[in-house]
Amino acid sequence: MAEKYGQIPTSFKGRMGYIWDYYKWYFIGGVIVIILAASLISQVFGRTRPDYVVILGTSAVLLDHSIEPLRQHLESLGEDINGDGEVVVEIHNLFRPASADTTAMTPERMRLIDSSMNRLMSELQLGNAILFITDEDYLNWIQYEWPLDEELFQQILPDRGGYAYNWAGSQAQLDNADVLPENLFFSIRRIENTAAENRRGIAERESQAKALLERIMESANAGD
């Protein structure tokens, strides 16, 4: 650079060229950092909150395309709670093998189990997910082997001693018998005296989840 200019130019245009030649990569780097930061802020603060957050816990690995019909069924019965013009249901697809499962425990399978457990613990703390949907093995684990003293679900439903509604035999289950378990149990998590009890908006989310589950049961009784 020094060879190019010999000495620092005195004209405004020359000084700008001098500064650009010496510092252009700092300017370019700064612009890239600003763009990335703006994009991250936009994603964090501009992300539309889903109308419902649901836990789906199963003892078999379900791929995303397998749970899409369940999401669509829930969205067809849900309400546009956040007022953005559409109903969006976010499903956290969790996996825990049944106790009788003899499948080899590969590193990938172990990571999946660990990430599912971390998500479950996080949601129990945050209280975003009020509606739980589980297959029989997962429900047995979370009801009877769960390492918490208190009951996880409210006793307000017709099946499993009042703790769940089983969609077996409903039109939604029959329509998706090839991709989803026959016995899927819908439960409402208990809020009172839990870590999530004082979370902002928790009472509203509980009421909304109950209303959604009521519509699910009504649609099954009406044959969808």
Do both 209 and 129 map to the same domain?
Answer: yes
In 78-133, which residue ranges form alpha helices assigned H by DSSP?
107-126
Do both 170 and 193 map to the same domain?
Answer: yes
Q: Report helix, strand or coil for 101.
A: coil
Do both 36 and 127 map to the same domain?
Answer: no
- Per the CB < 8 A criterion, the answer to whether 143 and 64 are in contact is no
The token duo for 84 is 């953005």
Residue 44 has pLDDT above 80, yes or no: no
- Give the residue-averaged pLDDT of 61-75: 93
Do both 104 and 121 map to the same domain?
Answer: yes
- Give the residue-averaged pLDDT of 164-192: 93
Is residue 26 within a helix (H) or strand (E), and if so which, with residue range?
helix 12-46
Is residue 131 within a helix (H) or strand (E), and if so which, with residue range?
strand 129-134
Residue 165 has pLDDT above 60, yes or no: yes
Do both 68 and 125 map to the same domain?
Answer: yes
Expressed as residue numbers, the domain containing 28 is 2-46
Do both 80 and 180 map to the same domain?
Answer: yes
Do both 214 and 120 map to the same domain?
Answer: yes
pLDDT band at 167 (very low <50, low <70, confident <90, very high): very high
pLDDT band at 149 (very low <50, low <70, confident <90, very high): low
Axis-axis angle for helices 64-77, 202-221 (nearest 10): 90
Residue 10: the pLDDT is 65
Rounded distance between C-alpha atoms, residue 118 and residue 114, angstroms: 6
Whether pTM > 0.75 for this model: the answer is yes
Do both 36 and 72 map to the same domain?
Answer: no
Q: CA separation (Å) from 106 to 41, 62, 112?
A: 37, 17, 10
From 68, 87, 90, 65, select the one nearest 78 (Cα to Cα): 87
Residue 177: the pLDDT is 92
Do both 159 and 75 map to the same domain?
Answer: yes
Do both 90 and 34 map to the same domain?
Answer: no
Q: Give the chain's domain count.
A: 2
Do both 149 and 90 map to the same domain?
Answer: yes
Strand order through the sheet with 129-134: 89-95, 52-58, 129-134, 185-188, 165-166
Do both 26 and 86 map to the same domain?
Answer: no
Mark which of 46, 64, 81 sits at the end of a domain.
46
Residue 1 has pLDDT above 50, yes or no: no
